Structure 1
């Protein structure tokens, strides 16, 4: 099938942005994605809101806490 890139409320992770992409897989909706290298060395691709996507650059740290519906940019 396919892998869902949607961030879920129960997810918990921390990592550094290594890539930003956007795509229109269904032909009508533009989705914004980031690839994050997690603190444990693995990587994750996650769909995020446009405003957050626009504020991020490669090397920024994202934090996703349990109970929240979206990751946040960590203060530098």
Structure 2
């Protein structure tokens, strides 16, 4: 499994988490709406990648995340 794919997932997860914070705590309605849309699109991208994993790749990804903290 390509570790860069794992790194990409970690980055997407961080971006989704940041967008969720904006969605929940943004100063304006526009900020919150954009945060929600970004969070949903990043989450869908994450799910698509994970659904493409074989069981072995999924196990490797979980181990990668544990190792990375």
TM-score range, shorter chain: under 0.3
Q: Which TM-score applies when normalising by structure 2?
A: 0.25
Identify which of structures 1 and 2 has the higher relative contact order when contacts are C-alpha pairs closer than 8 Å and 6+ apart. Answer: 1
Q: Based on CA coordinates, which of the two structures has the bigger radius of gyration?
A: 2
When normalised by structure 1's length, the TM-score is 0.24
Larger proportion of strand:
1
